[in-house]
């Protein structure tokens, strides 16, 4: 990959889309302090347009709540405070109020995952609030493996965005972009996690495969290779199962089309 040219291409695409297609003044990015949001926020900043970087903690310890984001501090130091604004919006109380309201009415063995997705959806609502009052675009941070491979995102949560600048980049390509942008090494090397379950379980733990393995499966899915070893067979099984189960996230909402003749009066 021609990393520098890819960076320039994405930055130009972001600026052109915001100014010429959407008529929008800037970008809002949710900052998880992971590699994807760090890359996306940096690319947005490089457009020269205003960027609002928002941390959206839920159930963090007091010490972590007060700790400054390494990435946001680096962004401001590297690119200047004039272009970048940051907010830390603690959504813990809002989440627990909604959790209490919902679980009082109904709760079962599917509640844990449903509540994890509630966290992601509350964050999406918050991002859109601040984007709307500032006239900005909510900028997605999903990569190609997550968004179009295994659908590892929350529908109308972190999947609810206006634009997706790294949606055509594999995770390994995002890492290459991060290194080229000189993003903090601790962010690049950190195990990916969605942080939705309170115990910081990694993506690999949840999925059962690494992103490198999933990239391999994504490339090999149409090749009927019978020479796979046991691990490769397992990874392919994981990939195909998740891809099939999450197809509904990757397609437009099904619309029931009414035949014209049925809309016409007799």
Q: What is the pLDDT of residue 203?
A: 86
- How confident is the model at residue 242, as a pLDDT? 93
**Residue range 90-114: average pLDDT?**
93
- Interstrand relation of 51-55 and 26-30 (parallel, antiparallel or unpaired): parallel
The residue among 120, 145, 105 whose CA lies nearest residue 246 is: 145
pLDDT-based confidence at residue 198 (cuts at 50, 70, 90): low
Number of neighbouring beta carbons within 10 Å of residue 37: 23
| CA distance between the termini of the chain | 61
Of residues 148, 130, 116, 134, the one with CA closest to residue 247? 148
Residues of the chain with pLDDT > 70, as a percent, come to 95
pTM of the model: 0.87
Give the pLDDT score at 234. 93
Q: Is the pLDDT of residue 48 over 80?
A: yes
Domain boundaries, the chain: 3-197
Task: Tell whether the model's pLDDT for residue 214 goes beyond 90.
Answer: yes
pLDDT, residue 241, reads 93
Binned at pLDDT 50, 70 and 90, residue 251 comes out as confident
* 243 vs 92: CA distance, rounded Å: 32
**Of 15, 29, 58, 36, which Cα lies nearest the Cα of 134?**
29
Helix (H, G, I), strand (E, B) or coil at 44: helix
- Quote the pLDDT of residue 63: 45
Buried b / exposed e along 230-242 (16+ C-beta atoms within 10 A) = eeeeebbebbeeb
Which CATH number among 3.40.50.970, 3.90.1150.10, 3.40.50.620, 3.40.50.920 corresponds to the domain 3-197?
3.40.50.620
User: 257: pLDDT confidence band, cut at 50, 70 and 90?
Assistant: confident
Shortest CA distance to 178 belongs to which of 206, 213, 212, 141?
Answer: 141
When pLDDT is averaged across residues 218-229 and rounded to a whole number, the result is 79
pLDDT score for 65: 52
* pLDDT at 181 exceeding the cut of 90: yes
pLDDT in tens, 118-163: 999 999 999 999 999 999 999 999 999 988 898 889 999 999 999 9
CA separation, residue 246 to residues 2, 97, 183 (Å): 31, 29, 31
Q: In whole numbers, what is the pLDDT of the chain averaged over residues?
A: 89
pLDDT value at 115 more than 90? yes
Cβ within 8 Å of residue 172, ≥6 positions away: 211, 212, 215
Tell which residue, 164, 135, 161, has the closest CA to residue 25. 135
User: Confidence class of residue 101 from pLDDT cuts 50, 70 and 90?
Assistant: very high
| Tens-digit pLDDT profile for residues 57-80 | 998 745 455 557 899 999 999 998
Q: What is the pLDDT of residue 38?
A: 96
State both tokens at 131: 């984007």
Q: What is the pLDDT of residue 199?
A: 65
Q: What average pLDDT score do residues 41-52 get?
A: 96
């Amino acid at each position: 990959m021609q990393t520098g040219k890819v960076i320039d291409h994405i930055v130009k695409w972001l600026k052109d889309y915001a100014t010429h297609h959407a008529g929008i003044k800037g970008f809002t990015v949710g900052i998880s302090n992971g590699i994807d949001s760090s890359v996306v926020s940096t690319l947005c900043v490089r457009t020269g347009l205003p960027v609002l970087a928002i941390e959206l903690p839920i159930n963090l310890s007091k010490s972590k709540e007060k700790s400054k984001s390494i990435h946001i501090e680096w962004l401001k130091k590297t690119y200047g405070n004039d272009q970048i604004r940051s907010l830390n919006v603690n959504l813990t109380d809002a989440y627990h109020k909604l959790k209490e309201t919902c679980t009082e009415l109904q709760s079962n063995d599917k509640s844990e995952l449903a509540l994890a997705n509630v966290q992601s959806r509350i964050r999406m609502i918050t991002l859109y609030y601040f984007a709307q009052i500032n006239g900005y675009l909510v900028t997605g941070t999903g990569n190609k493996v997550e968004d179009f491979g295994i659908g590892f995102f929350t529908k109308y949560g972190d999947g609810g965005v206006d634009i997706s600048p790294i949606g055509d980049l594999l995770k390994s390509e995002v890492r290459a972009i991060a290194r080229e942008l000189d993003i903090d090494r601790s962010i690049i090397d950190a195990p990916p996690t969605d942080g939705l379950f309170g115990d910081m379980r990694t993506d690999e733990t949840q999925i059962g495969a690494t992103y490198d393995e999933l990239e391999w499966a994504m490339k090999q899915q149409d090749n009927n290779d019978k020479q796979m070893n046991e691990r490769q067979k397992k990874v392919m099984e994981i990939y195909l199962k998740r891809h099939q189960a999450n197809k509904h996230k990757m397609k437009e909402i099904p619309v029931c089309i009414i035949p014209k003749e049925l809309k016409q009066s007799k």
